Amino acid sequence: MRVLLVEDDEPIAQSPRRGLVRYGFEVERVTTGGAALAHEGASDVVLPDLGLPDADGLDVCKALRARGDVPIIVISARSDETDRVVGLELGADDYVSKPFGVREVIARTRPVMRRARRWPRRGKGRIPAIGRRRVRPLAAAAARLARTPALSGPACEGSR
Ligand code: CA
């Protein structure tokens, strides 16, 4: 499982990165919002810090969500509840507040990823680089539906 950590602060990034790796996650880290949005590889979950040098983390969150259905867990150092609420409204799946422990991140990541696999979001426009792999299960489900006899064209028309 691949995690994209978006955090400019090296000491803060170190601990969750080490912990996630120890728990079997592959961790890639970028330090800016621009780099997060330019990131090419598919990620299973994105952890954007809200305080980034080049962009507001909330805008990064919004842009990621507009592009696809990758699970997002916002990292918030801000004490303001409003930021966390806005993050969730912009499409984040959950948030962790700094300082946080690795086990908390993992405890929040796993259910978010499970939900994303079970209920992929639909109709989000073009296929994004991040979260590209979610498209395949959805296409497979559509193909299965199309093969269901009750839903195929001629059978439906014939039964009227
Ligand atoms: Ca930061």
Q: Report whether pLDDT(89) > 80.
A: yes
49 within a domain of the structure (yes/no): yes
114 within a domain of the structure (yes/no): yes
CA of 41 to the centre of ligand 1 (A): 22
CA of 8 to the centre of ligand 1 (A): 5
154 within a domain of the structure (yes/no): no
CA of 30 to the centre of ligand 1 (A): 11
What's this model's pTM, rounded to 2 decimal places? 0.71
pLDDT above 70: percentage of residues in the chain: 73
CA of 66 to the centre of ligand 1 (A): 22
Tell me the mean pLDDT in the region 76-103.
Answer: 86
152 within a domain of the structure (yes/no): no
The total number of structural domains in the chain stands at 1
CA of 60 to the centre of ligand 1 (A): 13
CA distances from 151 to 38, 62, 122, 147, 159 (A): 41, 36, 20, 8, 11
Q: What is the reported pLDDT for 80?
A: 76
Query: How does pLDDT run across 90-105, given as a tens digit for each residue?
Result: 999 999 988 888 889 8
CA separation for the pair 66, 63 (Å, rounded) = 5
Could you give phi then psi for residue 88, rounded to 5 degrees? -65, -40
CA of 76 to the centre of ligand 1 (A): 9
45 within a domain of the structure (yes/no): yes
113 within a domain of the structure (yes/no): yes
**C-alpha 43: how far from its chain's center?**
7
- CATH number for the domain including 61? 3.40.50.2300
Query: How does pLDDT run across 113-133, given as a tens digit for each residue?
Result: 888 887 766 544 344 444 444
153 within a domain of the structure (yes/no): no
CA of 31 to the centre of ligand 1 (A): 8
CA of 147 to the centre of ligand 1 (A): 49
**pLDDT band of 47, cuts 50, 70, 90:** very high
13: containing domain: 2-141
12 within a domain of the structure (yes/no): yes
